A = this chain, B = another copy of it.
Amino acid sequence: MSEAESYPVTNRNKVKRKPQRGSYDKQAVYDILDSAMICHIAYVIDGQPYCTPTSFWREGDDLIWHGSSASRMVRAQSGGVPVCLTVTHLDAVILARCGFNHSVNYRSVMAYGTAHIVDDLDEKHKLIDAFLDRFFPGRAATMRPATVQEVKATTFIRMKIDDASAKVRDLHIADDEEDYAWPAWTALYPVKQVIGPAEECPRQLPDVKMPEGMAGWTPGRKLDEVMLEMYREHYEK
């Protein structure tokens, strides 16, 4: 694998527990990130760690998210601040024949880099549109345009991924060979996050129709599949 296709393995992104589940392949990392609407971000203020859930998206090797209560701290550090952005998709619960082999199936990414506030107003304006279109392709053009006030009040934080790793478990029950004779009931329960039917705004104007860009948001679909499809529709078409 060439350097361009995978992240360097560093002391921080190296998968230490269950290393066979780890991957440093960029496409594997991107696919897990692009399938998510929500991430969790760890940062430090005065030695205290914080873990904040937020919506985010990817542009190339950059991750971008909304400001949080950490924004002031990020702004105060002109060199940026170190963060770890994590995405987790839960796929199944595994009930084995002993406590030790109980597990879950999942796809996760931990991405590391230095976070900076986006200050340029033109760039922020573009990011507001990208933030919409990444999830709802073509939506930005149908919006009441953002006011200067709103653009100023919106904080975006941007981080180039310096290194990252993906970790995946995608197995059925994996008991120790000698345990298969033990008479415990064992099973895998699939887990999925799905979207329901659109509940239109009660004050929807009578002549407004659902735009074509929302065709992929059909009831019952997995949110991670919709997210990945919308991402590709917006960025790769």
Count residues of A near B (Cβ-Cβ below 8 Å).
93
Given the known A-B contacts A55-B104, A68-B17, are A189 and B198 also in contact in the complex, defined by CB atoms under 8 Å? yes
A residues 38-83 touching B (CB-CB < 8 Å): 38, 40-44, 47-53, 55, 68-69, 82-83
- Whether A201 pairs with B186 at a CB distance below 8 angstroms is yes
A-B contact pairs, 18 of them (CB 8 A): A12-B50, A37-B90, A38-B106, A40-B53, A49-B83, A50-B110, A51-B86, A90-B223, A93-B195, A95-B136, A144-B179, A183-B207, A184-B208, A187-B198, A187-B210, A188-B201, A189-B199, A191-B193
Q: Is the CB of B189 within 8 A of A195?
A: yes
Q: With A and B bound together, what is the CA distance between A68 and B110 in angstroms? A: 14
Give the residues in chain B near A48, CB-CB below 8 Å.
12, 82, 84, 112
Least Cβ–Cβ distance between A47 and chain B, in angstroms:
7
Majority secondary structure, A binding face: mixed
Assess the B37–A104 pair: CB atoms within 8 A.
yes
Interface pair B193/A192, CB less than 8 Å apart: yes
- Taking the complex as formed, is A121 at the interface, i.e. its CB lies under 8 A from any CB of chain B? no
Interface centre among A99, A146, A154, A211 (most CB of B within 10 A): A99
Are B106 and A53 closer than 8 Å at their CB atoms?
yes
Judge if A215 is at the interface, Cβ distance under 8 Å. no
Nearest chain-B residue to A102 (Cβ)?
Answer: B132
